[in-house]
Each structure stands twice: as C-alpha cells, then as structure tokens.
Amino acid sequence: MENFFYICEYFHVTPKEFFDDNMDYSADLLEFIDVLKRLSPEQRSSLLSVAKNMI
C-alpha cells in the first residue's frame, strides 16, 4: 500500500483521483499528459516552471 501512495505522489494525484474513471479530459490535455510522461524529470521540472510563470 505504501508503494501506491508513492505512485500517487509521483503523478501528483490523490488516491481518489487515481481511481476516478469519470474524469473528463479534453483530447489536447490527454495528449499533453502523454508528452509529459516521455520527458525526463529535469525537462518536466523546467516545463512546470514555465507553466507556473504563465499563470
């Protein structure tokens, strides 16, 4: 069970969000998430900083 919480933490989701199959994501958001998964941790960190500065 402890590993499950590490997985949730890694993906920045709550356990509820992890199991919620009713979440409706747009096609572009799903594509963006797919691209994010392929980035290195350093690349994701850099992109997160850029996104936060855009808000």
23-41 tens-digit pLDDT = 777 888 888 988 999 999 9
Which position has the higher pLDDT, 29 or 44? 44
User: Is it the case that residue 44 has pLDDT exceeding 90?
Assistant: yes
Q: Which residue bears the tokens 């808000």?
A: 55
pLDDT given at position 40:
96
Average pLDDT score, the chain:
89
pLDDT given at position 29:
85
**Residue 4: which residues within 8 A CB-CB, separation 6 or more?**
15
